Amino acid sequence: MTELKKYIEIFDYLSSPHLPQTPESTIIFGRQDERVAQAAGDLVLANLVDVAVITGGIGKDSGDLTEYGYRSEAHFLAEKLRTDSLKRGFTLPDLYLDEAATNGGENARNSINILNEHNHTSDTLTAVAHATSARRLTEMLRNEGKIINNKIPTVFIKPTSYDFDASNTADQKEARDELLRLYEWPTKEWLLPQTDLPDELVEFANDEKKSVK
């Protein structure tokens, strides 16, 4: 039971929302998951999206999208967001698709560059992402924003509604690996220093990773 509680604490840390109060430039991180489009639709309905970039080519989270006729994760989510807009009756903001990115660094970098190229602000952003990955992708936006604009952007977080199962080994692995990326990646300069990481949970994740090898 203690182990499951720790995994819940890790997930809660990774997926904690921080919602904007005004319309912002929004970056929607691709994945074969309709819940990402639904989360973005929630923000549009609340009038919290100024402009949006949907980012994602074909990568590890693409599943079998191409077998269903989708060019990319971005194409898939754009179609799901359009369908959601018809169902729920909201008007889509200006959308840009990045269909080249195949990892989180490229997602963040390409999206900020697209916003800059079209004269949209990238100083304040909202990240829409799968709940377990939300914090890491937010931090990647902060890191890439500093590199590109020489200024760390303010980044709000809209995670998906994900029913995390602390007893499921796949959910455990994803949460464990995401926390350890936050711990390890600053040394590779892929993230800025993470000053508020929960040391006890990082130690637990490290121990768990070693035990399942």
Q: What angle do CA 7, 56, 17 make, to 5 degrees?
A: 40
- Indicate the average pLDDT of the chain: 96
Instruction: Identify the band that residue 211 occupies on the pLDDT scale cut at 50, 70 and 90.
Output: confident
| pLDDT at position 212 over 90 | no
Residue appearing with tokens 């989510």: 77
Rounded to whole angstroms, how far apart are CA atoms 65 and 195?
Answer: 37
Share of the chain above pLDDT 90, in %: 93
| pLDDT at position 53 over 90 | yes
DSSP E strands, the chain: 24-29, 49-55, 94-98, 124-129, 154-159
Contact between 200 and 183 (Cβ < 8 Å): no
Sign of the alpha-carbon dihedral angle for 118, 38, 124, 106: negative
| pLDDT at position 210 over 70 | yes
Quick: pLDDT tens for 83-120. Answer: 999 999 999 999 999 999 999 999 999 999 999 999 99
Instruction: Identify the band that residue 51 occupies on the pLDDT scale cut at 50, 70 and 90.
Output: very high
Quick: pLDDT tens for 185-197. Answer: 999 999 999 999 9
Instruction: Identify the band that residue 1 occupies on the pLDDT scale cut at 50, 70 and 90.
Output: low
- Supply the pLDDT for residue 213: 64
- Supply the pLDDT for residue 59: 86
Annotated domain spans of the chain? 16-164
Share of the chain above pLDDT 70, in %: 99
For the segment(s) 16-164, the CATH number from 2.40.10.340, 1.20.120.420, 3.40.50.300, 3.40.50.620 is 3.40.50.620
Which residues make Cβ contacts (< 8 Å) with residue 166, sequence separation at least 6?
4, 5, 7, 8, 11, 172
Q: What angle do CA 163, 85, 110 make, to 5 degrees?
A: 75
The pTM for the full model equals: 0.96
Quick: pLDDT tens for 18-34. Answer: 999 999 999 999 999 99
- Supply the pLDDT for residue 166: 97
- Supply the pLDDT for residue 117: 98
Quick: pLDDT tens for 135-167. Answer: 999 999 999 999 999 999 999 999 999 999 999
